[in-house]
A = this chain, B = another copy of it.
Amino acid sequence: MKRAVIFLAASALAMPAHAQERAAGEAVEQSSAQNAPLFAGELEFSKAFLADIMAEGVVVPTPKDPGGGYTHEQHKRNFKAIYLGGQLYRLTGEQKYADYVRDVLLAYAELYPTLGEHPARKNSQSSGRIFWQVLNDAMWMVDSIQGYEAIRGSLSEADRENIDNNLFRKAAEFLSTGSAVTFSKIHNHATWATAGVGMTGYLLGDKELVDIALLGLDKSGETGFLRQSELLFSPDGYYTEGPYYQRFALKPFVVFAGAIEKNDPSRKIFEHRDGILLKALTTTIQLTYDGYFFPFNDAIRDKSLNTDELFHGVAVAYQKTRDPGLLSIAEWQGRTVLTDAGMMVANDLAAGKAKPFPFKSMLLSDGPSGNQGAVAVIREGDSTTGKALVAKNSSQGMGHGHFDKLSWQYYDNGHEIVTDYGAARFLNIEAKDGGRYLPENESWAKQTIAHNTLVVDETTHFGGDAKVADTIAPEQLYFSDTSGAQVSTGRIVGAYDGVDFTRTVALLDIAGLNHSLVVDLTRVNSDGPHKYDMPLHYMGQIMRVGFDLASNTQDRPVLGTGSGYQHIWIDAAGRPSTAKSAFVTWLLGDRFYTARWVPQANATTILAESGANDASFNLRREPMLIQRVDGVSDTTFASVLEAHGRYDGAAERTTASDSRIADIAHHRAGDSDIMIIETIGGERTAFAISYDKDPAAKHRAKIAGEDIRWTGFAAKVELPRGGSRK
């Protein structure tokens, strides 16, 4: 009896396959039931899933429906059954699993050769055979080939040849030469396709399939899996499309890498490019708050670490690294996979080896060479209730990128305070275009005004052209994770003709405040006058507005006609004249937040909400503040965001519901920007930015007779109290 074990990363290879299988099965059932509840849980879950689907018999319907529809969901259930059934056969040796997986695959072998383009395909996407998108076909293949691997040795030669030739070879052909455009992309869709094709090549002993998977259809290495691993991740393991797709792309990377390691150990795939695949996994985890991914670019906001891709990723990475921080991630997930890597995770977790995952402030460079901007993550406290400030100074990230250069986002106290809309999409819901990206993804979610960054003349960065955007990345000028004075500065030239801007965000421990303060300073340079809008999208209920408002109480107009402005209702507008009054305080959860800014001359502040021009109710309705400055060339937006106080509904106790800051000011001194923050207690702190990359260079500014001295690019300087000022 011949058995392929290519995807098993470790086993007692000397034993005959069948005995080995049984022994492993018994060992697993025993050890996991007693010692590793996580694995026992997976076994139980998988057995229940197989029992259910086996009771329904083999159901392989002719493809018909789009995402979310019946045939789509049934084929998804089938590849899950093929994968899990294979693993259960391997682990338990129970023939019923092998028989069922075989029967399902035989049904596919009969159906597959009859399939043409999917009837629900969309012109904008590459059609699959089984599914409406070729991507789903590739996902089907990645799981199915693993399930097939586990049972192939148990098949009759006739069945094996039938499934080999009529299903997997044909599917591999379709996904490679038959879908050459997708297969040859440097894109996550291509990673799924190359993984499926390559793993099929290993299993069928078809070197041609392996070669084109690794090196591209022309085997030049210009495309294919290896090139993808070089071009799609930065040296810091950041995936250019952003965290949501990083998670998604990770599974074919790690699963196929496992197969390469097994079949082609001399490639040392896990050491490839300084261990980029494992680095990508830990970076994916770092890009979360409370387990949820930072939702920038096209992202479904309810995606967390608790997802199939990362059950695989964590298990494979743990098996390679034994990093105990990964065990605490597995614990948070409460799930693992039915592989020996998953078993190791479960056993070591049960043995108490887990340690907290080391979430930390970090700068993640973007681009294959790390020079296409960066994502800066500034943290304070834990990743569940602490603070996290994310500066998105990264490159466009292709078609799923949003036009939001130098945008930012902020988390605190378990909540997203300054928000990113994510994608306008409801995954797999038929009523919402079958789960596809909705028209509002283009008209709102991708537009600059939907983000926390500068909009010039009511138009979107790069004119909303992703091809142009992909050619121009921001520059990360500075990053410091110094405790109490963490800073990130980025600059973008080319988002607009004739306008460039530099933004510094910082998290500063300020004397007199109980919470670290976010400082946000954006310096805009231009060759002529423009209209500048700086939106702040936040979550919460407004408690106090520091300035007079003209409110649209009787009917609610729309802010503009395009670039996302058509989706904004105007609630009110005002013209605060000083930073003492230029603030809005809101409540979210049990904490208060005050955004405060230095009003420029002739500036207006607009209080608004998303959701206009949305007859299909495709948008969430969320509040925003917009600082608007019209008819000036150079300008500076200088703001702070302050967390304060506590609202305790249970104890009916509220403290510090009003801002603890008395005033802020912005000064230009030479080429430096200086902000001065004064608390209601009179404590005064300056935050000075020299923009000088020399860390040893000393700087000095005189403001209203007061000497401010600091060293390096940016620094926090404590000043004499308000009373002693002059």
B-binding residues in A (CB < 8 A): 68, 73, 76, 300, 302-304, 306-308, 426-432, 435, 541-545, 549, 551, 553-558, 569, 571-572, 585, 587, 607, 609, 612-615, 617, 620-621, 647, 649-655, 657-658
Contacts and interface: CB of A to CB of B under 8 A. Distances in A.
A617 B647 contact: no
A555 B553 contact: no
Given A429-B543, A429-B657, A571-B617, 17 more contacts: A73-B653, A73-B654, A300-B649, A302-B649, A307-B650, A308-B651, A427-B647, A428-B657, A429-B647, A431-B544, A431-B585, A431-B657, A549-B615, A551-B615, A553-B614, A555-B556, A572-B615
A654 B435 contact: yes
A652 B432 CA distance: 14
A572 B612 CA distance: 11
A431 B543 contact: yes
A654 B68 contact: yes
5 contacts: A300-B649, A427-B647, A428-B652, A430-B654, A621-B621
Q: State the copy count for this chain.
A: 2
Contacts of A426: 541, 543, 587, 647
A649 B658 CA distance: 38
Nearest to A651: B308
A657 B430 contact: yes
A214 B609 CA distance: 54
Nearest to A303: B649
A650 B549 contact: no
Nearest to A649: B302
A545 B614 CA distance: 13
B652 A543 contact: no
Contacts of A73: 653-655
Contacts of A306: 650
A556 B553 contact: no
A126 to B, nearest CB: 19
A658 B65 CA distance: 14
A584 to B, nearest CB: 9
A613 B435 CA distance: 36
Closest 7 CB pairs of A and B: A542-B617, A431-B544, A302-B649, A551-B615, A428-B654, A556-B556, A553-B613
A722 to B, nearest CB: 20
Given A556-B556, A572-B615, A649 B429 contact: no
A613 B554 contact: yes
B658 A431 contact: yes
A652 B427 contact: yes
Contacts of A609: 621
A609 B308 CA distance: 38
Contacts of A551: 615
A308 B306 CA distance: 36
Contacts of A307: 650-651
A587 B652 contact: no
